[in-house]
Every structure is written in structure tokens, then in C-alpha cells.
Amino acid sequence: MESIAPTALSEAWDNTGLLLGDANASVERVQTCLTLTTETVAEAVARSASLVISHHPLPFKPLARITTSSQAGRLIWELSRAGISVYSPHTSWDSAERGINALLAEKLQLRNVCALIPAGREEFSSLGAGRIGDLGQSTELQTVTQDLLNVLPNCRPRGVDCGRAIRRIAVACGSGGSLLAAAGSSGCDLFVTGEATFHMCLEAQAMGISLLMVGHFASEHFAMQDLAEWLKAAFPTLDVWPSKNEKDPVRNFL
């Protein structure tokens, strides 16, 4: 995991790496998932996982106590009782060379891709938060939207259309709205992210940048399946699977 998503790439506010368990314990069965929930933890326990690699960290913030009276405490307690370790790559994998944002840029077939916000570390000079790149030719927003629907399961695109031709695109998985200013200063025509606030949509409109929100789940979940495949290839003797029970909690009602 350190080779796939170096923890040195993590944002200062994040909590990444081995969060629960014994680093010297043996691993035989590994489950990947986007988030530790009642469903994904129950699946890991039922399938006797040794390790869960969850993109979103648990715990994320320090806990004063670990009891079953809170959701986080209950999940950690269940994992601990079952002897299941937890590893989270989170922002280190968002920014990695073959991380989620790089994979998003690849799905859009962007060229001349680089980090939207460089990591600022000599050993990671070409890496960092988000990605930005160019399409082979200018196209309409609707065409890009259809491309995303074709390549991202659970994609629910909505956003701001500034009516400009799309050639340069910035991407930021998850809650990537905070990277909007960097996208604007990099000259992008379209900013694609998982989710952004209403006021960030207004800001994009004021900047003349189109913005597509594809859904937090859709912007990241696909990569947990990729990660499982990579781990299978790297460790053929391990039983590795992406969670089968994980679903987007956000749904349409119409």
C-alpha cells in the first residue's frame, strides 16, 4: 500500500495508514471498500477478513472513548472483536501516481495530465491533489457528461453549465469543491468533482467555469475494485475482494 499510495502524500489534516491492528500480524483475506459501514463491516466479519482497506478512514478524528454508543465506536469494537485490521489510504491515494484522480483523468482520456495542486515535495514533484489535462479536441458539456455516465457506475451528474466549449478539464474526487480556485487559475473549462456546495457552484458560475458533480460515491468507489485487482496480482496467495454489499447511500426519489 505504501508503494501504491505513499502516506507522505497525505494531507496534513488526514488520518492514513494502518489505523487498527497489529502490523506484524499475518494477512490471508483482504476486503476493500470505500467506507466502513454497518454493511461493509458485517461482510468483512462474515467472510473472515484479516484486513479491510477502506478508502475513508475510521477513526478519522481522535475518539475519547470506544463504546458501542456511537456508530464509529461500534464499528471499531466489532472489527476489533473479530481481529480485523483497518488500513486507509485516503488522500495519499487521491494524489498518487495511479491514484483515484489519475484514474478519473484516464477515464476521461485526458492528455498532458498533471497535478492540479502539486505536492510540493521533491520526491513527489509530479504528484499532488487533483488532476488537470486536455481533451484531444473541444467538445460540448453534454458529451463529457455522457462519457462519465458510460464509465462511472452510479454516476448522477448535475452542476453548472457556463455554455463554453470544453477542452481543458480538472478533476477532484470526493468532496473536491475546495480545489475549484486552483482549477480556475489553471485555465480549465470544466471542473469535475464528486460533490460541491451550493456556494461553490455559484463561484464556478461567476468564474465562467462549468462544474459537474458526479456524486461522492461514484467518483471514488470504482477505484476500490481496481485496488482489489492490483492486490490480487501483487499477492496471488491472498484472497482479495471488493465489498459486494457496499451501495451509494444517496438515491433518487423521482
- pLDDT higher than 90, residue 62: no
Q: Is 101 helix (H, G, I), strand (E, B) or coil?
A: helix
Sign of CA dihedral 211, 120, 53, 60: negative
Q: Give, as one character, the DSSP assignment of residue 165.
A: P
pLDDT of residue 244: 96
To the nearest 10 degrees (0 to 180), the angle between helices 71-81 and 38-46 is: 10
pLDDT of residue 124: 86
Q: Quick one: which of 238, 126, 233, 104 has its CA closest to 173?
A: 104
Task: State phi, psi for 37 to the nearest 5 degrees.
Answer: -130, 175
pLDDT of residue 254: 78
Range from 46-60, 122-136, 195-209 carrying the lowest mean pLDDT? 122-136
- pLDDT higher than 90, residue 126: no
- Rounded to whole angstroms, the Cα distance separating 245 from 121 reads 38
- pLDDT higher than 90, residue 185: yes
- Rounded to whole angstroms, the Cα distance separating 11 from 89 reads 11
Q: Examine residue 59 and say whether the peptide bond preceding it is cis (omega within 30 degrees of 0).
A: yes
pLDDT of residue 120: 80
